[in-house]
Amino acid sequence: MINFITRYFTSLWAFITSPFRALWRAICRIFPPREFTVMDTPRGNVYTFKQNSFWRFTKFCGKTGLILWAAWSTYVFVYHRPLLQKRTQELEEAKSLHARQMTDLQVYLEKYNELTRNLNVTDDKILNATDMDEKQKEDLMNSRLKTWGELDFLRTRLTEMFTNEEYTAEYTNLSELSAEFELTRAENEMLKKQNAQMIESMQQIATADIQIVDVVSKLASENIDSLRENIRGINSTIASLGLTQSKLVNSANKFSNPLVGAAFSPIEFDKALDPKYQKLADDLELWNGLTKLNKMLPLGAPVENVRITSNFGTRNDPFTGEPKKHRGIDFAGKIGTELMSPAPGRVVSAGERVGYGTTVEIDHGLGFTTLYAHLSQIMVARGDWVRPGTVIGLAGSTGRSTGPHLHYEIRYKGVPFNPAKFVKE
Across the chain, mean pLDDT equals 82
Task: Say what the pLDDT of residue 367 is.
Answer: 93
Task: Say what the pLDDT of residue 4 is.
Answer: 60
More confident residue, 233 or 356: 356
pTM: 0.52
Task: Say what the pLDDT of residue 168 is.
Answer: 59
More confident residue, 213 or 411: 411
The total of other beta-carbon atoms located within 10 Å of residue 54's CB is 13
The C-alpha atoms of residue 11 and residue 5 are separated, in whole angstroms, by: 7
Task: Say what the pLDDT of residue 180 is.
Answer: 58
More confident residue, 364 or 223: 364
Least confident span in 39-48, 247-256, 322-331? 39-48
The C-alpha atoms of residue 212 and residue 227 are separated, in whole angstroms, by: 22
Task: Say what the pLDDT of residue 171 is.
Answer: 47
The 3-class secondary structure across the chain, one letter per residue, is CHHHHHHHCCCHHHHHHHHHHHHHHHHHHHCCCEEEEEEECCCCEEEEEEECHHHHHHHHHHHHHHHHHHHHHHHHHHHHHHHHHHHHHHHHHHHHHHHHHHHHHHHHHHHHHHHHHHHHHHHHHHHHCCCCCHHHHHHHHHHHHHHHHHHHHHHHHHHHHHHCCCCCCCCCCHHHHHHHHHHHHHHHHHHHHHHHHHHHHHHHHHHHHHHHHHHHHHHHHHHHHHHHHHCHHHHHHHHHCCCCHHHHHHHHHHCCECCCECCCCCCCCCCCCCHHHHHHHHHHHHHHHHHHHHHHCCCCCCCCCCCEEECCEEEECCCCCCEEEECCEEEECCCCCEEECCCCEEEEEEEEECCCEEEEEEEEECCEEEEEECEEEECCCCCCEECCCCEEEEEECCCCCCCCEEEEEEEECCEEECCHHHHHC
Task: Say what the pLDDT of residue 59 is.
Answer: 85
For range 243-263, the mean pLDDT: 89
What are the angstrom distances between the C-alpha of 152 and each of 104, 144, 149, 348, 380? 17, 12, 5, 106, 109
The C-alpha atoms of residue 264 and residue 250 are separated, in whole angstroms, by: 10
pLDDT tens digits for 68-101? 998 888 887 777 777 777 888 888 887 877 777 7
pLDDT tens digits for 42-77? 776 777 777 788 888 888 889 899 999 988 888 877
